[in-house]
């Protein structure tokens, strides 16, 4: 099921008019789209095994500009955690190749420029956001008329270039926006998405370890550990299932205290699966000691980001304590709009 929301279609009509005008008068019009990053509030890694996860789109976005050109080129102007773009360069090339193929545009020569305020970093859905934005901009440039669901399918193809066989939660979040309850049906491979409406205004502080993680590797390591000790992992999975059910209710009700407790529990399970690291533990501890309702790693782990649920003054206090400890930190606005074309 697709999220129950009013979704404007990506009308290619204005774009076609622009293309005709540009051909008549010789000007070059660039197709542009933007998509938000994401934070996983509950359920990273568990989601790979068919369990539910809850994620939200954040206000920072990646902007993709696409234009037909004499030859293929990519200019990546996104701000980054140092080293991120270099480390992901080959995966990014594979990702774009996959998306062009999925859209029937294989071999087409385009100039792609990436920008926007979303920091290219692990944990924030940087690849998912860029895939959704590129897919939507290509759709505009070539007047394909794909709707949001199809854009999401293309972005998922792009995500495979980065993450092997990802669950698809990141591209769904970047495509549809808001808060999503996500589950992957492992039998059919289909994403089951439900838009959540929270009664509370959630405030999240992010702490960045500054370390880039490799999702394919970390997901593979978790699988190897599970194969080695299936009983331990079954216990962890059973515990998480209860957390996931309660988390959905607490997000919808806006029960922040409960949500915070569940985030702490979720983090402990992730730590038990071996996906935390010293820097993430330090960030979780700093947030917890300075008034967070709950704190956990978010995304792949072994680097990337920590998120803390906060109320009132605690947010700025935690952000400044984290900065003093030498990490980047910011208070994030969440529940943002999904991918959109920029005119
Ligand atoms: C990455 O943002 C989240 C993981 O659960 C991987 C996935 O869902 O594909 C670690």
Q: Count other C-beta atoms under 10 Å from residue 233's C-beta.
A: 18
Dist CA 137 CA 230 (whole Å): 44
Residue for token digits 């005008």?
Answer: 21
Give the pLDDT score at 29: 82
pLDDT by 10s per residue, the chain, length 343: 344 333 343 545 555 555 555 555 444 589 999 999 999 999 999 999 999 999 999 999 999 999 999 999 999 999 999 999 999 999 999 999 999 999 999 999 999 999 999 999 999 999 999 999 999 999 999 999 999 999 999 999 999 999 989 999 999 999 999 999 999 999 999 999 999 998 888 899 999 999 999 999 999 999 999 999 999 999 999 999 999 999 999 999 999 999 999 999 999 999 999 999 999 999 999 999 999 999 999 999 999 999 999 999 999 999 999 999 999 999 998 999 999 999 9
Q: Count other C-beta atoms under 10 Å from residue 251's C-beta.
A: 25
Closest CA to ligand 1's atom 8: 167
Return residue ranges of the chain for CATH 3.30.230.10.
13-197+335-342
Q: Is 170 one of the annotated active-site residues of the chain?
A: yes
3-state secondary structure 1-14: CCCCCCCCCCCCHH
Q: Are 304 and 209 in contact (CB under 8 A)?
A: yes
Residue 324: C-alpha distances to residues 207, 286, 309, 318 (Å): 11, 11, 19, 10
Query: Cβ contacts of residue 57 below 8 Å, gap of 6+?
Result: 36, 37, 38, 173, 174, 176, 177, 178, 334, 335, 336, 337, 338
Dist CA 256 CA 292 (whole Å): 11
Closest CA to 62 of 32, 38, 99, 36: 36
Q: Which of 94, 153, 170, 238 is an active site residue?
A: 170
Give the pLDDT score at 22: 55
pTM over 0.85: yes
Give the pLDDT score at 199: 83
Residues touching ligand 1 (Cβ under 6 Å) are 40, 44-45, 47-48, 163, 166-167, 169-170, 215, 219, 299-300
Architecture of the 13-197+335-342 domain:
2-Layer Sandwich (3.30)
| Residues facing residue 84 across a β-bridge | none
3-state secondary structure of 196: strand
How many CA within 13 A on the CB side of residue 200? Answer: 19
Ligand 1 site-directed mutation target among 167, 218, 226, most atoms within 8 Å of CB:
167
Q: State in Å: Cα 227 to ligand 1 middle.
A: 19
Q: State in Å: Cα 113 to ligand 1 middle.
A: 26
Architecture of the 203-332 domain:
2-Layer Sandwich (3.30)
Give the pLDDT score at 133: 98
Closest CA to 146 of 341, 6, 342, 343: 341
Residue for token digits 């193809």?
Answer: 157
Q: Which backbone phi and psi does 68 adopt, to 5 degrees? A: -60, 145
Return residue ranges of the chain for CATH 3.30.70.890.
203-332
- DSSP-assigned states of every residue in 124-138: TTHHHHHHHHHHHHH
């Amino acid at each position: 099921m697709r999220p129950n929301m009013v979704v404007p279609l990506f009308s290619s009509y204005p774009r076609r008019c622009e293309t005709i005008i540009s051909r008549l008068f010789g000007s070059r019009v660039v197709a542009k789209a933007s998509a938000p990053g994401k934070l996983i509030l509950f359920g990273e890694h568990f989601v790979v095994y068919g369990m539910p996860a809850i994620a939200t789109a954040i206000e920072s976005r990646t902007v993709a500009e696409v234009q037909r050109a004499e030859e293929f080129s990519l200019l990546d102007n996104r701000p980054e955690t140092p080293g991120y773009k270099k480390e992901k360069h080959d995966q990014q090339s594979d990702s774009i190749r996959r998306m062009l193929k999925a859209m029937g545009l294989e071999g087409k020569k385009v100039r792609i420029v990436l920008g926007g305020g979303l920091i290219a970093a692990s944990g924030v859905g940087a690849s998912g956001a860029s895939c959704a934005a590129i897919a939507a901009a290509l759709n505009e440039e070539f007047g394909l008329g794909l709707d949001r669901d199809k854009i999401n399918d293309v972005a998922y193809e792009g995500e495979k270039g980065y993450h092997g066989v990802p669950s698809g939660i990141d591209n769904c979040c970047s495509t549809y926006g808001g808060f999503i309850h996500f589950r992957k049906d492992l039998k059919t491979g289909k994403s089951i998405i439900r838009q959540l409406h929270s009664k509370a205004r959630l405030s999240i502080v992010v702490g960045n370890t500054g370390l880039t993680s490799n999702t394919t590797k970390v997901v593979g390591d978790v699988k190897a550990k599970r194969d080695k000790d299936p009983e331990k992992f079954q216990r962890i999975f059973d515990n998480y299932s209860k957390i996931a059910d309660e988390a959905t209710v607490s997000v919808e009700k806006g029960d922040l205290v409960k949500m915070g407790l569940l985030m702490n529990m979720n983090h402990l399970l992730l730590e038990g699966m071996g996906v935390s690291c010293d820097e993430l533990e330090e960030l979780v501890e700093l947030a917890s000691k300075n008034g967070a309702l709950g704190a956990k790693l978010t995304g792949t782990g072994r680097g990337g980001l920590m998120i803390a649920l906060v109320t009132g003054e605690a947010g700025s206090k935690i952000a400044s304590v984290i900065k003093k400890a030498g990490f980047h930190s910011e208070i994030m606005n969440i529940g943002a709009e999904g991918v959109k074309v920029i005119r």
